[in-house]
Chains A and B, each alone.
Chain A
Amino acid sequence: MSGAIVISGIGISHASIQEGEPGWEQILAGKLDLDTSLLAHPSELTEKLEREISQQNGTNVTVAEFSPRSKKDSGFRISGESSYNVYVAVKKALEQASVTRSRKGFDHKNTAVVNCILYQGLEREMGIKPFKFQTEHQSPAFIGDIFGLHGPHFSFKEGESAGLNALTTTLPLLTSGACSSVIISGVAQPNVLFTRIECLDEINKLQCVCANGEEPLINTSFSESAVAMVCELEDQAAVRDVEKPVKYLGGNSYHRSIDYSNPGQIRNEVRHILKSVVKHIDRQIGVIYIDNSWNRFIRDLQIEATRELFPDIQIISIGEKTGNCFQVGGLLNVISAGYGLQTGYFPISISTLTESGNSILPRQVHHPEIECALVLSVSRLGGYSVVALGKPEI
């Protein structure tokens, strides 16, 4: 047993992906281009949001329709769209891991199901059934139930970094032998209530930070997305001949309170956590993914600190193409990085973005020589996470 961990299957359920279409290729092929990325000055945002919310039922860019397409697929205790979205993603991930075709080597009974949560599981609108908000917490239990996974099921809550936090905190269960497989999942659902609260508060914070006259722009291109990935030991995946599973090389997560008036502190923490992971990696870092954060203040600090530490390494953000998927964004980055390591094709670097930040058509860049990718996520509440991924064939 090598003890190495691999990601052997991934699944995406995204607003712009039709049923049956493959997942992350869409990001690269441009089919996931939201094309309506909205940037607004804070003074305009409240009015803009109010208008968009009233017109589009709370999702101001993409109104996703995730209603079950057939009763056959919904034949379990669906108690909300969140659960269904996760179900679709997990199903795809298990299929890609060759689990549904052949269960050889895959121990369903000792598989953990982990969900990442942004904050409380707010549902779409007011006036919903009481306690429906619990459904996001309950998703892992439903998934465990429907797929016969008898390992533990639980959720992580750590703002935007919850996805990567779930990865780094849970995968030791594989190396310790406690679980044979771990399914990491998450679903992002913008809604009226969330949009109101978050944007208004964010404006206040940014106005405070940018009192020097700078005019911050806020990316409001939220979108809905559910992601799942199957993680297991490399030896176990090899039994099923899983094709080129991406290696999980390590990671770290911690919380450090963010002081919005002290950008230097945030840059320091970004450098610190990147170093804490890189010192254990024996491969050359080829590319670094950063958050799809709608909070451009935090995102820009991530870029600055990362460039300072790795001046020659390409930095990628796929947020302009996927929309802001909150805590799921980190997992989307893992998927995109994994795809790049498998195929050599990565999405365009954000260093080529135009000043306005939008109107970029997605393009691919071919870097087959890249052997290692880092994925960084910073929650604006102070969650820091980094995951390192490795090329499969090495």
Chain B
Amino acid sequence: MTLSSQTKPEIVITGVSTATPLALDQQTLVTRLLAGETCIVPEFGEIDGDSVRNVGIIPDNHEAFTIDGESGQYSILSRILRLVIRNAVNDAGLFDIYGSRHEVPVLLGSCYGSKPDYYRLLAAQNTGQNIDRIIKEEFYNLKFREDAVTCEVEKLVGFQLAKSTIISQCLSGFIAIALGISMIQTGQRDFAIVGAFDLFDRIIYRVALENGLLDKGFCKPFDQDHCGTNFSDGAGAIVIESQSHAESRGASNYYAKINGLHIGNYPDVGGPMVSGICKAMTQALQSAGISANQIDMISSHGTGIPKIDQQECIALKKVFKDQVCDIPITSYVPNVGYSFAASTFTDLAIAFDCMENNRVIGVLSPQTPLEAFKNYNFGVGTNQERPVNNVMKLKLSLNGGVGAMILSDVNSGVS
């Protein structure tokens, strides 16, 4: 699937909001990154008896969740989504324009959706506990938490929501964006709110542990010692609309133009193939009408999972050739944690700052790059002052999905 702004109405991003454990807005996020600080909780304690460090959990009692005096009434997921959607809509200046009956597509992605805690239920069953009671008191609430969120968002924003939860593992956020773009380009909607959310929980922890995806210390993408990732809570949303619509309503923020987008299914055992990643990047570049040497920054998938790291690096070399030694290839997972589908929006928020201020914010890893890729410009350590007009965002999922998106400065003249 390929979408382009070349022949269709140009799509611009006019609002953004993200939440990570220690940065519940994008300004805090960028400030902490510029200072070389992490945005995930450095100590979490234990999960299922294991001591796990450096996992990101958004604190349930954070003051940012005190919205309209309603703190504590809703689940953490409900409040984090309320926060990011309200902030994104505010940021885009949409509150003042539309009435309460306006139907706004809100497309939310999630890696797996909400998950019943099977371990809790299995343990209860094995010990002869009353499962019906647990189901009614605990599981039922879990199952419907996303739907409860929708209702709360509806009350908060005052819009009539055209809402869907889209599930395609880590690529869910990308697909939400693609569906939103299609709705706009076909004239069905003027704008869309697209986002994603994912919470770190015991199920994810167990999956990651059993499949060798988890680094209990600081994760180290592209490093010789990479052995897994740091998972994190997260949510994010952006407002996308046609450029003509944004101009006609006098939008004040133009973060970037989505110039090209490609999403494909290129399955391989355990992850996408190199050829699939190459194809996604090539198609995205073609749809954007630019060449690889016009990319100023690559926002990589970069989770620190060895096989994925290596395939990504090989693919980057095939597409960008020797430019991989010059173009900064960033992964902020050690800084903000990997929040699955939601991390797409964290990375976009960071990219917007880089484009606006012509800088590449330094990352924490790799300190000792993989030998085969040691000449790559991984942008470690210091913030680099350099023009950033075109950014490629790359996203992979373990079930074979690959996404590549080209962001361009709205005023860059690339179209």
Contacts and interface: CB of A to CB of B under 8 A. Distances in A.
Contact of A255 (B119, B150, B175, B264): B150
A200 B118 CA distance: 20
Contact of A127 (B125, B171, B183, B266): B125
Nearest to B165: A157
A155 B171 contact: no
A153 B169 CA distance: 10
Contacts of B267: 141, 144-145
Interface stretch (A55-63, A117-125, A221-229): A117-125
B143 A178 contact: no
A140 interface: yes
A134 B207 CA distance: 11
Interface in A178-219: 178-179, 193, 196-197, 200-201
Contacts of A150: 264-266
A110 B150 CA distance: 32
A200 B1 CA distance: 43
A152 B161 contact: no
Given A172-B186, A178-B178, A255-B161, A152 B150 contact: no
A133 B163 contact: no
B160 interface: yes
A383 B154 CA distance: 13
B182 interface: yes
Interface string A125-166: 011001101100110110011000111111111110000010
Contacts of A284: none
B167 A155 contact: yes
Contacts of A381: 144, 147
A343 interface: no
Contacts of A322: none
Nearest to A379: B147
Contacts of B179: 169-170, 172-173
A147 B122 CA distance: 35
A122 B112 CA distance: 13
A39 to B, nearest CB: 23
B116 A120 contact: yes
Contact of B1 (A157, A165, A173): A173
Interface in B97-121: 103, 105, 107, 112-116, 118-119, 121
Contact of B143 (A119, A154, A156): A119
Contacts of A155: 166-168
B305 to A, nearest CB: 18
Contacts of A172: 179, 182-183, 185-186, 188
A257 interface: yes
Interface string B114-145: 11101101100100000110011001100110
Interface residues of A, number: 55
A117 B166 CA distance: 10
B75 interface: no
Contacts of B125: 126-127
B401 A197 contact: no
Given A155-B167, A176-B185, A178-B3, A196 B178 contact: no
B140 A151 contact: no
A112 interface: yes
Given A133-B116, A169-B179, A254-B161, A176 B401 contact: no
A254 B136 contact: no
B252 to A, nearest CB: 28
Contacts of B185: 172, 176
A145 B115 CA distance: 25
